[in-house]
Chains A and B, each alone.
Chain A
Amino acid sequence: DAGITQSPRHKVTETGTPVTLRCHQTENHRYMYWYRQDPGHGLRLIHYSYGVKDTDKGEVSDGYSVSRSKTEDFLLTLESATSSQTSVYFCAISEVVSGNTIYFGEGSWLTVV
């Protein structure tokens, strides 16, 4: 299994509160991603990073921010959680930008009440 650790694995939070999800990798891969998975949708990209302090938006980035201060850590922050952000969040990593497998973490289940 790829060395990807997500924390927390499960969280229930209230609307309007900030939430940070952490992804830690031990593979030294350059590229890191945050996806969300919802019923009826394939995995959708929130943000990705192509290096330390280098990040860019994905297709569903509204309401989310990210930071990458070290190669191994990629943080996803919901500044003010909403019920529409109830989802399963997956971190992923890859060695190169394309044409190569991306490996996923075990997921973080977030419920916003």
Chain B
Amino acid sequence: GENVGLHLPTLSVQEGDNSIINCAYSNSASDYFIWYKQESGKGPQFIIDIRSNMDKRQGQRVTVLLNKTVKHLSLQIAATQPGDSAVYFCAENTSGTYKYIFGTGTRLKVLA
């Protein structure tokens, strides 16, 4: 499949280490956020979401942190595995609107 996002920032992580991927969102009125994973040639896959009334939410091996003061979102992946290699991007949404704003993403490379 075609490789979208050829000039994305890249994070290289050793297998087994933790990964932290960051996202600066644009709209201070945004109150719902999603992290997606996109493998080459595939569609974006939902990882985890968080609402603005929370600062942190944990899933299986993943944690999302939200800092509304500086409009910053981060995704932490514990014990990174080769299967985690992909492009990760965030999305933001404001209640009552259909509009989702998507980031361009970060490429995560897991080194064996």
Contact = CB atoms under 8 A, between A and B. Distances in A.
> Is the pairing of A and B real?
yes
Interface of A: 4, 31, 37-45, 48, 50, 56, 88, 90, 97-107, 109
A94 to B, nearest CB: 9
Interface of B: 1-2, 4-7, 31-32, 34, 36, 41-46, 49, 51, 89, 91, 93-105
B71 to A, nearest CB: 16
A41 B104 CA distance: 6
Looking at chain B's contact residues, the main secondary structure is loop
Contact of B4 (A37, A44, A100, A104): A37
B1 A109 contact: yes
A98 B44 contact: no
Given A42-B102, A98-B96, A106 B4 contact: no
B2 A88 contact: yes
A88 B40 CA distance: 12
A44 to B, nearest CB: 8
B95 A104 contact: no
A104 B104 contact: no
Given A40-B7, A48-B98, A98-B93, A106 B42 contact: yes
